[in-house]
Amino acid sequence: MIFSTYEFILIFLPITFCGYFLLQHFHYHNLAKIWLVLASFYFYAAGSPDFFPFFLGSVVGNYVVGNTLGKLQGAEHRIERGLLLTAGVLANVGLLGYYKYTDFFIENVNFVAGTHIPLQHIILPIGISFFTFQLIAFLVDSFRGETESYDVLDYLLFITFFPQLIVGPIIHHAEVVPQFENKKNHKLIFDNVAMGLFIFSIGCAKKMLIADPLTTDAQGFFDNVTANLPIIRSWFHSIEYTVSYYFDLSGYADMAIGLGWMFNIRIPQNFNSPYKAKDFQEYWQRWHMTLSRFLGAYVFRNVYRKGIKYRNYYVATMVTFFVSGFWHGAGWTFVVWGIVNGFLVCIASWRNKRKKNTPLWLGVPLTFLLAVLTRILFVSDTFTNAKHVLKGLVNFSTLHLSTLKALFVDNWDMCLLTVVGLAICWFCPTTSKISEKFKPNWKYLLYAAALLIICILNMDKVVQFLYFQF
C-alpha cells in the first residue's frame, strides 16, 4: 500500500483517522495509540506481507535492547552497556546487510577470487533502510539515557507511525513522542486537518502529475543505454531524471508531512529547494534534510574530532558520504556516487571557509549541472552505462537538427513537463513556505480538492516510489 492509491485515500486513511479521534474524544488515549499502532502495522503488512514478521521481530527486539540499555545506567554497568549497544547496532546493521548487500558481497568475492558462488536474489523488505536508521538512533539514545521516560506505546508510535514508516522523513523520537503526549493534540483540530489535506494534495500532485510520467520516460532511457548515444537525448533524459527524482522524493515527503498534520503531528521538513543551492555544501543542507541530520549526528560526529588531523572535517565528511552512498544502494556506483558528492562538499566547504563565494547567477546553475552529472552515476546500473551516458553528453557528432526536432515532436509532453518541473524548482516557493500563508478557507479547499481529484483520476498510472528500492 502506498499513499497514492484508492485503497489508501478512500479506505485506510478515513477509517484510521476516524477511529483514532473517536477514541481520543471519549478519552481512551491509550486505546487511540494502540489503534494507530495497529493501523500502522496493517499499513506495512498490506504493502509487504511477507516481511511483516521480520519487521515486527525487529521492532520488538530493538525495544527489549533499548529498554535494557535505559535501565543499565551508571558507571558500574559501563562495560555491559557498551557490549549491549554494540550487539544491538551490529544486529541491525547485520540484518540490513543480509537483505540488502548479500548479492553485492557475493559478486565481489566471485570477481576477486574467481569463484562461482550463486547469487541469492534476496528480496529487500520495504523501508528497511529507513526504519533501521531510526532503530539504531533509538538504541544509541537509550545508551545515552535519553529515552528512559518512554513506555512501549511511545516507542511503537515513534517507529511505526505510518506516514513516515516506509520512506521517511527520518524522524527523531524527541520531536515526535512529546507531540503524542501533548493533550492539546488529542482533540480533532479542523485547521490542522485542512492544512494536512492541502499539503498532502500538493505532494500527491508532485508525485503523480510530475514525477511518475517523467520517471517512466527517463527510466526507459537509462534501462536501454548503448554506446554512441545522441547528445540531445543524453542531456534531456539526464535532466529529466534529476527533476523526476526530486519530485518523487519531495512529493512523498509532502504527503507524509500532510498526513502528520491531520493527526496533529509535525513531521520535519525534508527538502528545501535543493536546486536553488549555490554550492554542494548548501545542496546537501537542503536535500533529504532528515537523512543528512541523522548521518551528521550518528556518523559525522563520531568521526570528527577537532584538532586531530586524521579525524578532521574533511575526513569526517568523506566517511559520512561513503556511508550515505553505501546506504543508498548495494553497488559500487552508489559508493562512488557518495564519494564524489563528499568530494564536492569538501571543495565547497574549503571555498566557503576562505570566503571564495560564487555569485548566485553562476553557483545555482553550476550546482544543478553537477547534480545532473552525479545523478547519472546514481541511476546507472553499471559504470559502463554511466560512461556511455557521460560520453553521450559530449557526443557533438550526433548534434543534428533532425534529432532535436524528433525529441520535441515525439516527446513534446515530457519536454514540457520537464520545463515546468525546472520552473517550479527554481522559481516557486517550497511547500512549507506556501503552507505558511495557508488559511482554512474556500480558496485553499478548492485548490486541494482540484489537485486530489486530478490525482485520483490518474491513479491507474501510479509508479512505485523510487526510494522503495532502498
Catalytic residue among 173, 186, 328, 388: 328
3-state SS, residue 205: helix
User: DSSP string spanning 384-437?
Assistant: HHHHHHHHHTT-GGG--HHHHHHHHHHTHHHHHHHHHHHHHHHHSPPHHHHHHT
Is residue 299 within 8 Å of residue 286, measured between CB atoms? no
Check residue 257 and give its pLDDT.
Answer: 95
Provide the 10 A C-beta neighbour count for residue 400.
Answer: 12
pLDDT tens column, 389-438: 999 999 988 888 877 787 888 888 999 999 999 999 999 999 989 888 88
Ordered alpha helix ranges (H), 3-127: 6, 13-25, 29-47, 52-71, 78-113
CA atoms within 13 A on the CB side of 424: 20
Portion of the chain with pLDDT greater than 70, in percent:
98
pLDDT > 70? residue 466: no
Is residue 378 within 8 Å of residue 353, measured between CB atoms? no
Phi and psi of 165, rounded to 5°?
-65, -40
Mean pLDDT across 158-167: 89
Mean pLDDT across 220-245: 94
Please tell me whether the peptide bond between 14 and the residue prior to it is cis, using omega within 30 degrees of 0.
no
> Which is more confidently placed, 210 or 409?
210
Check residue 175 and give its pLDDT.
Answer: 87
Check residue 468 and give its pLDDT.
Answer: 56
Check residue 210 and give its pLDDT.
Answer: 94
| Catalytic annotation present for 328 | yes
> Which is more confidently placed, 22 or 129?
22
Cell readout for 108 is: 565481489
Mean pLDDT across 137-162: 86
d(C-alpha 167, C-alpha 215), whole Å: 17
d(C-alpha 464, C-alpha 470), whole Å: 12
Ordered alpha helix ranges (H), 167-300: 173-181, 190-205, 212-222, 231-262, 280-286, 289-295
Check residue 321 and give its pLDDT.
Answer: 96
pLDDT tens column, 317-367: 999 999 999 998 888 999 999 999 999 999 999 999 988 888 889 999 999
Check residue 335 and give its pLDDT.
Answer: 94
Is residue 467 within 8 Å of residue 253, measured between CB atoms? no
**Using 50, 70 and 90 to split pLDDT, how confident is the model at 462?**
low
pTM: 0.91
State the sign of the Cα–Cα–Cα–Cα dihedral 412, 413, 417, 420.
positive
Question: What average pLDDT does the structure give for the chain?
Answer: 90
Check residue 67 and give its pLDDT.
Answer: 87
d(C-alpha 274, C-alpha 212), whole Å: 20
Is residue 131 within 8 Å of residue 171, measured between CB atoms? no
State the sign of the Cα–Cα–Cα–Cα dihedral 29, 33, 39, 42.
negative
pLDDT > 60? residue 243: yes
Mean pLDDT across 368-376: 97
pLDDT > 60? residue 469: no
d(C-alpha 367, C-alpha 351), whole Å: 14
Cell readout for 37 is: 499502532
Ordered alpha helix ranges (H), 263-353: 280-286, 289-295, 301-303, 313-328, 332-353
Query: Please, is 18 exposed, middle or buried when counting C-beta atoms within 10 Å of its C-beta (0-12, 13-18, 19+)?
Result: exposed
pLDDT > 60? residue 182: yes
Check residue 445 and give its pLDDT.
Answer: 86
pLDDT tens column, 8-57: 999 999 999 999 999 999 999 999 999 999 999 999 998 888 889 989 99
